[in-house]
Every structure is written in C-alpha cells, then in structure tokens.
Amino acid sequence: MHFTTKIFADGAELSGMLEMYANPLISGFTTNPTLMRKAGISDYPAFAREVLAAITDRPISFEVFSDDLLEMEKQANIIASWGDNVFVKIPITNTKKQSSAPLIARLSAAGVKVNVTALMTNDQTREVLPALIDGPASNVSIFAGRVADTGVDPLPLMIEAVELLKPYPHIELIWASPREVFNLRQADNIGCQIITMTNDLIKKIAIFGKDLDQYSLETVEMFDRDARAAGFSI
C-alpha cells in the first residue's frame, strides 16, 4: 500500500502520538488547543517539551492560543523556538474576523514555519499565499471535513487549492479534518501533499482493499454476536 500524500496523525495524547510514531505510514503530527483540552493537558510548554523529546525527526504543529494578533506573534516565536521540526499553527483570522495574513507575513519573513489553519475557502488561500511565498516551509490547512459537514463537496475546493499552491512547492496543502478514511484516497488522487487523520481513522487504513463480500459477512457476524450477547427476545 503506497500513498504519495503524507499522513499526519492528529491528536494530543502522548501515548497515542508515540503509538503513531512507531507506524511507518505516519510522516508528521498536528495538535490544537481543543484536542489538548480534551486530553486534559494543563501545562502547554511541558506537554510540548515531552512530545518533542520523543519525536525529533518529523514535523509537529503546535497552535497559538491568544485571540490578540500581537500576542499571537509573541506566542508563535516562543513556540517556534521549541524545535527545528516545529510548525506554528496560526488561524486565518481571530474571533474578531481580523485577518492574520500580515502577522503570517512577519513570522514567515522571520523564518518561522507556519501552518495556517482553519481555512474553508480558496479566497482565504489566495489571501494568505503572498505572506508565505518568500518564507520557509509552510502549510495551508483547509478543513475539508468541516466543509463537507455543511453539505458542500470539498473535492472541487481542494483541487483548486492544489493548483493555487503548485508553483510553490515549499507550501504544502493539508486536507484537514477528514471524516472518513476514503478521504485519504481522494487527497492522494488530486496531489494534495498532506492529510491529517485521527488515530481511529489511521487504523482503518489496514482494511483498504478488503474483500467486500467477506466484510459483509463479518458485519452480519458482528450483529449476531451482539444480539446474542444482549439476550434480546421478542
């Protein structure tokens, strides 16, 4: 099984990250404040140091958490100093709808590897692109899964984004927030460089190519086991 698209494990539990670190399919890692909160993390720098001590040779994205653009910049520079493999996630806007593009341009010019996050349109991609063109390696994360949640097919959006970024190989497109493992196949087909996946989705890759008749039988067997275990009667 081979994919050109790189798989980044998305999570914030150290044990799960280390499990994925041992998986040769995994090329990098992403985190965010929501995942960290769910994992019960209270000391952000301590968590990051622990992760970076264990994972030294693959990119890891850590996100700023301020809503103030100037404070974001301070946090970004601190986060970037944690390791050469660190990318700093900067949301495309703050909650006041203020664009972070000028901030991203300053960070990029200073050599910070930025992962621009929470994009859902290619107008946003076009807005941020000039800020990244002359900088170091960077990522543009389009939340294709959330786009799909609204009833919109994200595939045309992602195809267009691939073309927008094609002249700039140091800027890699991330298919973010996938909802099903088939999104990996879609990302690979269109030349999207990276997809983020939760550990649960990553584990489903193992059944790619599974015989569907056999899978159907196994599903029926599961229903039968559970019905008997529940002791149902009518």
Is 197 inside any structural domain?
yes
In whole angstroms, what is the distance from residue 64 CA to residue 114 CA?
11
CATH code, domain with 52:
3.20.20.70
Of 98, 49, 100, 58, nearest to 78 by C-alpha is: 49
pLDDT digits (tens, 9 = 90+) for 41-88: 999 999 999 999 999 999 999 999 999 999 999 999 999 999 999 999
Q: Band the pLDDT of 212: cuts 50, 70, 90.
A: very high
**111, pLDDT greater than 80:** yes
| Average pLDDT value for residue range 94-113 | 98
Residue 33 vs residues 48, 52, 96: alpha-carbon distances, Å: 12, 17, 18
Please, are residues 142 and 175 in contact by the beta-carbon 8 Å criterion?
Answer: yes
Q: Per-residue DSSP letters for 2-63?
A: --SSEEEEE---HHHHHHHHT-TTEEEEE--HHHHHHTT---HHHHHHHHHHH--SS-EEEE
Catalytically annotated residue among 6, 38, 74, 89: 89
Is 61 inside any structural domain?
yes
Is 132 inside any structural domain?
yes
The answer to whether 113 is a known catalytic residue is no
Is 192 inside any structural domain?
yes
| Average pLDDT value for residue range 95-123 | 98
| Structure tokens that stand for 118 in this block | 């929470």
In whole angstroms, what is the distance from residue 174 CA to residue 139 CA?
7
Is 214 inside any structural domain?
no
Count up the domains in the chain and report the number.
1
Is 213 inside any structural domain?
no
Identity (one letter) of the amino acid at 145?
Answer: G
Long-range contacts of 40-48 (CB under 8 A, 24+ apart): 41/12, 45/82, 47/12, 47/14, 48/79, 48/82
Domain, as residue range, for 197: 6-208
Q: pTM for the full model?
A: 0.96
In whole angstroms, what is the distance from residue 125 CA to residue 144 CA?
13
pLDDT at 25: 96
Percent of the chain with pLDDT over 90: 99
**234, pLDDT greater than 80:** yes
**1, pLDDT greater than 90:** no
pLDDT digits (tens, 9 = 90+) for 125-173: 999 999 999 999 999 999 999 999 999 999 999 999 999 999 999 999 9
Is 216 inside any structural domain?
no
Is 234 inside any structural domain?
no
**What sign for the dihedral angle of Cα 94, 28, 147, 156?**
positive
pLDDT at 2: 84
